Structure 1
Amino acid sequence: LERVGRGVRPTAAGRLLAEHAEVISQDLAAAEAALADLREGHTGRVVVRYFASAGAALVAPALVGLRRAHPRVRIDLRLADPAAPLHEVEQGRADLALAVGPDPRPYEGVRLIHLHDDPYDVVLPTH
């Protein structure tokens, strides 16, 4: 501070410091808001591994609901081998995976949830 008449005012260095303090304060508030959004599930990224035939039947309808509920969450979709996408989740490279059929191998830290049974038909000629 420097004296001016009966008062004081900031020096050039003080004004510069005040400007930077304001920017830092705004950045800190923005970071705190972003962290709160992330903690509450409003933002973030979900990595999904799926097999091609599940895309239309399972993934597309689920995405509609997820986007509606959490519009700021990024979704990373990637095709996976339908026989073995679970290791992606086990190794932390995916948040969830759609798999076909039971997998007898136990996976560390992975929970399997049965979604539904696919109906299968055999088509044969009539002769």
Structure 2
Amino acid sequence: MQNLSISCALVCLIVLGSAALVGAFGVCKHQISAVLVTGVMYLLAGLFAMFTLMIIHFKRMQRVSTRSSPHGDDTADGVVGPRAPALPLLSAREFTTSWSLELGWGGVALATTTSLLWILLSKIMRYNPISAMLL
């Protein structure tokens, strides 16, 4: 699951980088379709970032549940535990959420908002009231 999370994060970064290039081209050359594609690419980047954060969340929940209900042969996470339950070996492995998780969800919200703004820009570029007045 960790490889899947890393893959989603890399796809998100690749999509964001290419969206920046396509968006710059669309704004400089006044290409409405490129601006609209940029909005869709930002939406895809937010979607893959959400997939990344959800995979991390469920992976951490899976580790918590395997630690709370040990296996029949007293193994958890590939480590053989002691036979006596008084000495927990895995007590040092604790996952807590901190600022990076909130930053990730903020990035998802920012990518989604940016996507909506790019799509709105494409609608504004399609109908320009000043050019309609000149014709």
TM range, normalised to the smaller chain?
Answer: under 0.3
Q: TM-score, normalised by structure 1?
A: 0.27
With a CA cutoff of 8 Å and minimum separation of 6, indicate the structure with the bigger relative contact order: 2
Whose helix proportion is higher, 1 or 2? Answer: 2
Which has the greater radius of gyration? 1
